[in-house]
Amino acid sequence: MLLAPLSLLGWPRGEPALSILIYHRVLPEPDPLRPGEIDAALFESQVQFLSQHFELLTVADAAAGLRDRRLPRRAACITFDDGYADNWTVAHPILAAHGARSTIFVATGFLNGGRMFSDTVIEFVRRCAGPMLDLSAIGMGRHPIGTTAERLQAISALQVQLKYLPPQERDAQVERLLAAQPVSGLPADLMLSDAQLRQLSDAGHEIGGHTVNHTVLTTLSPEDARMQVQTGRDHLQSLTGRPVRSFAYPNGRPERDYDASHAAMLRDLGFEAAVSTSAGVARPGSDPFQLPRYTPWGRSMTMFAMRMMRNARMGAPAAVV
């Protein structure tokens, strides 16, 4: 079947629109236990499309362009959250081949062998023998894992149980999980190393702040939130020798995960831009401390183009007050 030709003829006229896309990992090959993550082949198609039809900028440069009213009608940023090693090993060569630069928001506490709890759950379930995972002894239930669909269900159930615990309690429960059902070979190379981070920065990618421990800012006191932001930023600056100009709020939902006081704090700390996870596009006059982003999904490039257009038509989200 032939795909319909990609077209952006319906792109909103008038003012420039800045589309900021959220990625996390780029897998070398599709992984049935990570169905939401993009693989190298699809990422390549998306980067090719974006580099043909959009001016691709880093977030800090795009924010400066918005401020100075010199953005083209179709501008876009490719952003990666959290600091995965495959941003360097898989995504960077694809971006470089298309002359594209990205912005990578790094939670510094996971550099050099760290693992986020959501990844620990996936890699744990991958390594458990079926057909039943019995975690009732630690209050985490019994989960059938005989099929891939069941494993996906088990992963989601365990992630939900852990997601809303306070960070320290969550870490302790992950430890109990790994003690209750020991598995071997959990990966220690999912996140960037210092050397990979420096190489990304030297290659022209922007490195942005994302706190130290990926803690949601609204769960912290103002002092602790500031410390998470500032410590992470200073660490990144010392690794790259370059200023950290932009920031991604962990989780990123306006009002729930950050509020106007955090935007003011970032401004006070010298940041130039911050991104949320509300959908929409930024336009001249948008608040540079809550630039909207959206997550592209699905395998069809025609749908990818249509979704970008639909997102652009949403306009800019309302500011938090």
Q: Which residues bind Zn ion (CB under 5 A)?
A: 81-82
Supply the minimum distance, in Å, between the C-beta of residue 265 and Zn ion. Answer: 18
Tokens of 243: 């200023």
State the residue number with the nearest CB to Zn ion.
81
Supply the minimum distance, in Å, between the C-beta of residue 97 and Zn ion. Answer: 26
Supply the minimum distance, in Å, between the C-beta of residue 252 and Zn ion. Answer: 8
Torsion over CA: 38, 40, 42, 45 (sign) = positive
Q: Helix, strand or coil for residue 245?
A: coil
SS3 letters across 176-208: HHHHHCCCCCCCCCCECCHHHHHHHHHCCCEEE
C-alpha closest to that of 247 among 279, 203, 217: 217
Supply the minimum distance, in Å, between the C-beta of residue 79 and Zn ion. Answer: 10
Supply the minimum distance, in Å, between the C-beta of residue 99 and Zn ion. Answer: 27
Supply the minimum distance, in Å, between the C-beta of residue 37 and Zn ion. Answer: 14
Instruction: Between 44 and 82, name the residue whose CB sits nearer to Zn ion.
Output: 82
Instruction: Between 181 and 228, name the residue whose CB sits nearer to Zn ion.
Output: 228
d(CA 38, CA 131): 28
- How far separated are the first and last CA of the chain, in Å rounded? 49
174 within 8 A of 162, measured Cβ to Cβ: yes
d(CA 35, CA 23): 14
d(CA 106, CA 84): 8
Supply the minimum distance, in Å, between the C-beta of residue 82 and Zn ion. Answer: 4
| Residue 294: DSSP 8-state | B
Chain-centre distance of CA 276, in angstroms? 10
Tokens of 199: 């190489």
CB atoms within 10 A of CB 52: 10
Torsion over CA: 200, 205, 207, 210 (sign) = negative
Instruction: Between 81 and 86, name the residue whose CB sits nearer to Zn ion.
Output: 81
Instruction: Between 88 and 249, name the residue whose CB sits nearer to Zn ion.
Output: 249
| Residue 146: DSSP 8-state | S
Instruction: Between 55 and 82, name the residue whose CB sits nearer to Zn ion.
Output: 82
Instruction: Between 61 and 81, name the residue whose CB sits nearer to Zn ion.
Output: 81
Instruction: Between 14 and 164, name the residue whose CB sits nearer to Zn ion.
Output: 164
d(CA 177, CA 121): 9
**Beta-carbon contacts of residue 279 (< 8 Å; ≥ 6 apart):** 292, 293, 294, 311, 314, 317
Instruction: Between 82 and 287, name the residue whose CB sits nearer to Zn ion.
Output: 82
Instruction: Between 24 and 143, name the residue whose CB sits nearer to Zn ion.
Output: 24
Supply the minimum distance, in Å, between the C-beta of residue 224 and Zn ion. Answer: 18
Supply the minimum distance, in Å, between the C-beta of residue 320 and Zn ion. Answer: 19
